[in-house]
Amino acid sequence: MEEIKEAKVVEEIENNELVKPEFKSEIKAELKGITQIEDNINDVKEYALKLSDYYSIKEFDEETLKDAKNERAEVNKFKDKVAYFRKGITNKFNEPLEKFTTTAKETEKILKETYDTINGQIKAYEDKQKAEKEEEVKNYFDELCEAENIDFVNYEQANVNVTLSATMKSLKEQAKKFVDKVVDDINLINSTQFVDEIMIEYKKDLNVSRAITEVNNRHAELEKVKQQKEEQVEQKLNDKEMLNRIDNLSAPKIENMEKSEQENDPLVTATFKYTCRRSVMVELVKFMKERGGELEQLK
């Protein structure tokens, strides 16, 4: 099939049957001129393809060389002409496009400025409405606190979510719910043992559970320390009492006992464990040594 096509091209060119196209259109801004120019370019394209096929298989001689140079010049002219139309038409159509783009961007800018102006006015009005609504809720909150004699909380702690869509009734209910909880917490604290201390802790973050637990734990620790101190004092008294008893022992020393008495008082060995202060132990050992007998220290 390719051989038949190439042979036909050669035949057309050698018989001068290949029609050389001509540009019949000028560059126009109107869209309707594009179709005619495009048809011309398609003719040139077809013409160039046929020439390319022809010269790709043609064996050159002097005559062929002359024709080829002429055709090369024509092809170059066509190339320049197509480039001319391409650039010209592109520029023609870019002109209104650029104008449109500029106009569109300017309009967008103006629209944004207009939007910002309207939006700013709306926001200012809504902020004013919201501020008035919040002021009313705050006054109601302060009245509730005054009625309950609560002077350690502020409106911000209530976290009332004031929005334009919220009704005044729902906003006041939020404020009252907060104050009611504080009242309940105070009543709970008043029922405890360490009211003043727990109130001090409660005012830090309004966490009644934490306040009660912390104060109770603190007092439990203090009670434990107090008990330990009392036990230490009691131990000292016991040790002192033991020393006094040892000092008051009046039993005669063994070496001063009569022989007959010693025979009637046989030797005995006792093993026991006694825990006391070191000073007491020293006195006890000393006493046992003075009373005679053998003292063996266990390992």
Residue 71 lies in a domain: yes
pLDDT-derived band at 242, boundaries 50, 70, 90: low
Alpha carbon distance 29, 96 (integer Å): 9
Residue 96 lies in a domain: yes
**Higher-scoring residue by pLDDT: 286, 263:** 286
Residue 165 lies in a domain: no
Closest C-alpha among 40, 60, 49 to residue 9: 49
Residue 113 lies in a domain: yes
By percentage, how much of the chain surpasses pLDDT 90? 37
* pTM, rounded to two decimals: 0.50
Mean pLDDT across the stretch 96-122?
92
Closest C-alpha among 122, 172, 105, 163 to residue 144: 172
Mean pLDDT across the stretch 270-278?
71
| Total tally of structural domains belonging to the chain | 1
Q: What angle do CA 22, 23, 28 make, to 5 degrees?
A: 170
Where are the alpha helices (H) located in the chain, listed in sequence order?
A: 2-14, 32-57, 62-147, 168-190, 195-205, 208-247, 259-263, 278-290
* Residue 11 contacts residue 43 (beta carbons within 8 Å): no
pLDDT-derived band at 121, boundaries 50, 70, 90: very high
Residue 11 lies in a domain: yes
Mean per-residue pLDDT of the chain? 80
pLDDT of residue 6: 46
Residue 190 lies in a domain: no
Residue 25 lies in a domain: yes
pLDDT-derived band at 19, boundaries 50, 70, 90: low
End-to-end Cα separation, the chain, in angstroms: 121
Alpha carbon distance 165, 294 (integer Å): 99
The Cα diameter of the chain in Å comes to 172
Domain that holds residue 49: 2-118
pLDDT of residue 36: 75
Alpha carbon distance 226, 222 (integer Å): 6
Count, residues in the chain: 299
Q: Is the pLDDT confidence value at 263 over 70?
A: no
Residue 272 lies in a domain: no
